[in-house]
Chains A and B, each alone.
Chain A
Amino acid sequence: MASFTLRVNGASKTVQVDPDTPLLYVLRNDLELNGPKFGCGLAQCGACTVLADGKPVRSCVATVASVAGGRITTIEGLGTLERLHPLQRAFIEEQACQCGYCGNGMVMTAKALLDRNPRPSERDIKAALNGHLCRCASHNRIVRAVQRAAAELRS
């Protein structure tokens, strides 16, 4: 066990864990954040995605040691029910899920996309999200939600 201080959603948190602990378990269990999900533990599905210094990271394989010192953002850090981030609002407006288990990863990767490309084409959005799996097949709604959020963020 070692002590790590993480900067998560703007707040500093210190945890005592093994250095090779995947970030996901620290976020979910120590910090009690529900956003990132365990989907595969193999960086294959994207449900666990968070941002580290603005870049999407698969928290199920990224170790605590590898991200300590960076700025970590989870979906909780984007906005709240009362103050939704445009992406969160867009996913709700477009009813862009069935079960929603993949939704965290979709939103977080879309956030990174819109930060670097405020005017993504449909093709850009699909390319950015292609590493994320959705089993309920809400893909088209998800693409529309990202387009809607992009439009709102530009206006």
Chain B
Amino acid sequence: MTTTRRDFLKTGALVIGFTLVPRTTLAQSAALPGSLNTNRRLDAWLRIDPNGTVTIFTGKIELGQGIGTALSQIAADELDVDLKRIDIVYGDTARTPNEGQTAGSLSVEQSGTALRFACAEARSILLAAAATKLGVPVVDLTVSDGSITAPNGARAAYWELSADAQLDGEATAKVKPKPASEHRVVGTSVRRRDIPKKFTGGAAYVQDVRLPGMVFGRVVRPPSPGAELIEVDEARVRSLPGVIAVVRDGSFLAVAAAREEQAIRARDALQQSARWKEAESLPPSGDALYRDLMARSAPVQTVAEKAAPTTAEPVKRLEALYTRPYQAHASMGPSCAVAQWREGLLTVWTHSQGVFPLRADLAKALAIDAKDIRCIHAEGAGCYGHNGADDVALDAALLARATSGRPVKLQWMRDDEFAWEPYGSAMVMKLSGGLDAQGNVVAWAHEVWSYPHSTRPGSSSGVNLLAARHLAKPLAPVPPADVPQPTGGSDRNAIPLYDFGAVKIVKHYVADAPLRTSALRTLGGYANVFALESFVDELAAAAGADPVEFRLRHLREARARAVIEAAAQRASWTPRARGDGARGRGIGFARYKNLGCYCAVIVDVAIDRSSGRIRVTRAVAAVDAGQIVNPDGVVNQIEGGIIQSTSWTLKESVRFDRTRVTTRSWADYPIVRFDEVPEVDVMLLNRPDERFLGVGEGSQGPAAAAIANAVAHATGRRLRALPFTPERVKQALA
């Protein structure tokens, strides 16, 4: 198979003409909505083909969250075309806009907003072309499924006009999108476009990419993060059946074979033959983990500070320390990529959440020009943040350099994923607060200690791809800065939305992490909301107040109050109800990032006092996500978030000793199973005239706090160390 540079940029029958480089004149241009601002050409977002297909292009990627369906709905309504006509192209460095990462529950806000304005403008350009062609004013034209009709019955269709309608100009965003009242598919639970193939054996994932001549790769990781490869018998492994290439570069070791099981056997053989020099580089475990974190050197930064509006002095003061361990993304499918080199050009099929940032880091790691790399999105298993997706792309690219142009599919083994994915950071939250004589909060302080929450490729200096640090000439990531407010990283959701008088939020951000950490769904939000909303209940208890009433008393924002009230009503919350020692109920609330969706969760728990086992039996959630594009999609995200958070909160913690990560399989990292999953009831508060608010990370923090509060309600004992294992519960009840 030979390929020219021209073919490389060719996709299907069309050579892509638009530039993907952000314009240098950006600073002078007017701001445009959503990702239109950084990708300003209309034809970067949509194309109308003579065959009647509308193709929309997004720099975001599908990861099972249903974004492709939601974006199609938005485009269908703005263009007045049937959903069936819409094809979608996800993140592809040769074809789509650069929208950075698919992260932070921002895809509908950023890509959806851009598509909404781009499609509205395209529709108006098409209508203008039709008006000229048909000789009637635009106002007299009607559109149905892309077919434009004049009062006299004369017709023109989008696909006949695409030659006259110039979509290659810069967007102006001057055409106002439709009001919610005119939406036909936005706001309805359209079935997801990605699901049918997933249940019929269709090619749905990067694991299903098959190319002519493709071989199979495996990587042999060091036994521990601090290990160096001393020696390995490459020659013997090269002689094993099917082995095509063994690549060693410093401590990076990988093998390619004709058959997948041969690659796995060769990996085993390399592991047996390799001698490593290991070093103790990991932090201590147990409570010492948190003492160690708090003792590390870090600048003390005040995130927010507000003076007390009144002179009321606290008459009662409380303080509490909450902890969260390292937790894993633990994707069901280990990370996978397919890489192929042809004439110095590299193509990578990847489930990375950001094909453009990945390309930039691959270029640095491989010392080639970014324009010689094409990264194409193909879905992987759910990732919940920055897992091994980007790392495996470099592994495959390094290995494929040794296979003479044959493509390599490289999937990590289960232990690669557990031992090497970047974890959600261990964290400590110290809360203190004071109540006045009326039981109102008049002082509040939240101090957080954390390692990084965002070390994705492209988000940090240096190279953040795992293999790069193992090469003979290593390329290391530079310790990254924390994600700044208003979204925040380690301090995400640390600032309370409540009126708590004098407020001070401080963070100790430890940039130099002993264990690799990065974005796990919500970043610091899960742990901060857990701590904040637990402490609200602790203060409410000290004030002798009902938790719902106590929250509402301190909360002015109408939309925030509305979700708490709705959840309480839906769950038939009984003020001042008492737990009976084994059963209890608790609430948690947050507005994700203090900018995204509003979500209140109420859970019921049952505690087996003899075994220490907590069961979350039921969860009720109320959500305000602004205008809802796909109600079932929102319910799916909120429901999944609550159950995943139940798993994080009750069970999950990465294990390690001072040298090695000892979490290697599901046996070492239990997650919730069917018999532990709560019934979940999600109530949506649709606000069709408000802007979209992301929901993918809305329910995890509130669910964790609700569980902690329910346990305290049931037993009178407060759990402050995640996860709430049976041992910890028994200890607390003793």
Contact = CB atoms under 8 A, between A and B. Distances in A.
B197 A98 contact: no
Contact of A135 (B259, B382, B413): B382
Interface string B659-693: 00000011100011111010110000000000000
A101 B210 contact: no
Interface stretch (B289-297, B327-335, B367-375): B327-335
Contact of B200 (A41, A75, A130): A75
Contact of B640 (A76, A98, A127, A130): A98
A113 to B, nearest CB: 12
A6 interface: no
Given A17-B259, A130-B675, A135-B332, A100 B200 contact: no
A95 B64 CA distance: 11
A19 to B, nearest CB: 11
B589 to A, nearest CB: 20
A30 to B, nearest CB: 9
A25 interface: yes
B639 A140 contact: yes
B382 A42 contact: no
Interface in B172-230: 191-192, 194-205, 207-208, 210, 216
A101 B382 CA distance: 8
A91 B195 CA distance: 9
B608 to A, nearest CB: 18
Given A25-B260, A32-B210, A107-B199, A136 B674 contact: no
Contacts of B204: 34, 100
A40 B196 CA distance: 24
A153 B666 CA distance: 34
Contacts of A59: none
Contact of A75 (B199, B241, B639): B199
A133 B65 CA distance: 18
Nearest to B678: A140
Contacts of A98: 64-66, 382, 636-637, 640
Interface string B316-334: 0000000000000011111
Given A40-B666, A41-B413, A84 B332 contact: no
Given A99-B332, A135-B381, A138-B636, A29 B196 contact: no
A56 interface: no
A100 B639 contact: no
B698 to A, nearest CB: 14
Contacts of B665: 40, 42, 44
B674 A139 contact: yes
A100 B261 contact: no
- The residue in A80, A84, A133 that gathers the most chain B C-beta atoms within 10 A of its C-beta is A133
A95 B351 CA distance: 22
B63 interface: yes
A33 B381 contact: no
Contacts of B334: 38-39
A134 B200 contact: no
B411 interface: yes
Interface residues on A, range: 35 or more
Interface string A4-39: 000000000000011001100100110011110111
B391 interface: no
B714 interface: no
A135 B671 contact: yes
A81 interface: yes
B639 A76 contact: no
Instruction: Select the residue from B199, B210, B673, B675 with max chain A CB neighbours within 10 A.
Output: B199
Nearest to B331: A135
A38 B201 CA distance: 14
Contacts of A141: 636, 639
Residue of B192, B382, B673 most packed against chain A (CB within 10 A) = B382
Nearest to B383: A99
A78 to B, nearest CB: 8
Contact of A22 (B64, B261, B672): B261
A114 interface: no
Contacts of A44: 414, 665-667
A139 B680 CA distance: 10
Contacts of A33: 201
Nearest to B645: A137
Contacts of A137: 639-644, 647, 672, 677
A88 B636 contact: no
Contacts of B666: 40, 42, 44-45, 133
Interface string A107-138: 10000000000000000011101101111111
B444 interface: no
Contacts of A35: 201
Contact of A139 (B259, B380, B641, B643): B643
Contacts of A133: 332, 666, 671, 673
A6 B207 CA distance: 23
Contacts of A37: 205, 207, 332-333, 381
B87 to A, nearest CB: 17
B208 A34 contact: yes
A81 B667 CA distance: 36
A140 B331 contact: no
Tell which of B65, B201, B207 has the most Cβ of chain A within 10 Å: B201
Contact of B674 (A74, A97, A130): A130
Contacts of B632: 95
Interface string B338-373: 000000000000000000000000000000000000
Contacts of B208: 34
Nearest to B412: A38
A37 B413 CA distance: 12
Contacts of B66: 98
A69 interface: no
A47 B200 contact: no
A70 interface: no
Nearest to A35: B201
B384 interface: yes
B64 A136 contact: yes
Contacts of B64: 97-101, 136
B194 A29 contact: no
A76 B60 CA distance: 30
Given A29-B260, A101-B332, A139 B677 contact: yes
Contacts of A81: 196-197, 200, 202
13 contacts: A18-B261, A34-B203, A37-B332, A38-B333, A40-B666, A97-B198, A98-B64, A104-B199, A107-B199, A126-B675, A130-B674, A135-B332, A138-B640
- Going nearest first, the 5 A-B pairs with the smallest beta carbon separation are A99-B64, A137-B643, A99-B382, A100-B198, A101-B381
Given A127-B674, A140-B679, 20 more contacts: A17-B259, A21-B261, A25-B261, A37-B205, A39-B414, A42-B666, A47-B332, A79-B200, A81-B196, A91-B195, A92-B191, A97-B198, A101-B205, A104-B199, A129-B674, A133-B666, A136-B382, A136-B644, A137-B647, A141-B636
